Amino acid sequence: MSATPQPTPRKRAVVGVILRQNQFLTIRRSQTVAAPGKICFPGGGIQPGETEAEALVREIREELGISSIAGSRLYENVTGWGTSVAWWLTQIEEDAQVEINLEEVAHWSWMPPQVMLRHPDLLSSNRDFLASWRQARFVIPGITVPDDWDDADD
């Protein structure tokens, strides 16, 4: 008897939306990982047996060298390349000392949402995330959609 072929499970990832004074903590991906040089949030793939929150905290530790706490799950979508991504509002200490892992991250910075949305190197799925926020499909506690986003931005 031949087994019925099963669909390949989607790859799952989790990302951290970290806020400070109306800006998001963004990273530029290193040249040696997938999507090299793209701007996005910290995060990564969920390993077997991990919860989303566990994977989030592990990835932020690996990439930025800091502790974090998974706050609330904001949104979920599927990238153009078929990865299911969970977006979590995430807390870090006020005085956290970021030390990037250069194998994974080339640079990090605080970025206002308008700058992020217009950034030419923004990862496409993050553009979708910001556009969905702009369209009020979900809210991000602690920050409101900027007034000066015009329709041309999404």
Q: How far apart are CA 55 and CA 140, in angstroms?
A: 21
- Residue placing its CB nearer to ligand 8DG in the complex, 2 or 65: 65
85 near ligand 8DG, judged by CB under 6 A: yes
- For ligand 8DG, the binding residues in 87-146 under the rule CB under 6 A are 123, 125-126
- β-partners of residue 27 are 40, 108
- Residue placing its CB nearer to ligand 8DG in the complex, 33 or 69: 33
Q: Residue 95 CA to chain centroid, in angstroms? A: 21
Beta strands in 5-100 (DSSP E): 12-20, 23-29, 39-40, 43-45, 69-78, 84-91
Smallest distance from the beta carbon of 118 to ligand 8DG, in angstroms?
16
Smallest distance from the beta carbon of 24 to ligand 8DG, in angstroms?
10
- Residue placing its CB nearer to ligand 8DG in the complex, 40 or 70: 40
Q: How far apart are CA 87 and CA 74, in angstroms?
A: 6
- Residue placing its CB nearer to ligand 8DG in the complex, 43 or 71: 43
- β-partners of residue 89 are 17
- Residue placing its CB nearer to ligand 8DG in the complex, 79 or 90: 79
- For ligand 8DG, the binding residues in 31-60 under the rule CB under 6 A are 33-34, 40-41, 43-45
Q: Which residue's Cβ lies closest to ligand 8DG?
A: 45
Contact 114, 148 (CB under 8 A): yes
Q: Which residues bind ligand 8DG (CB under 6 A)?
A: 13, 15, 33-34, 40-41, 43-45, 79, 83, 85, 123, 125-126
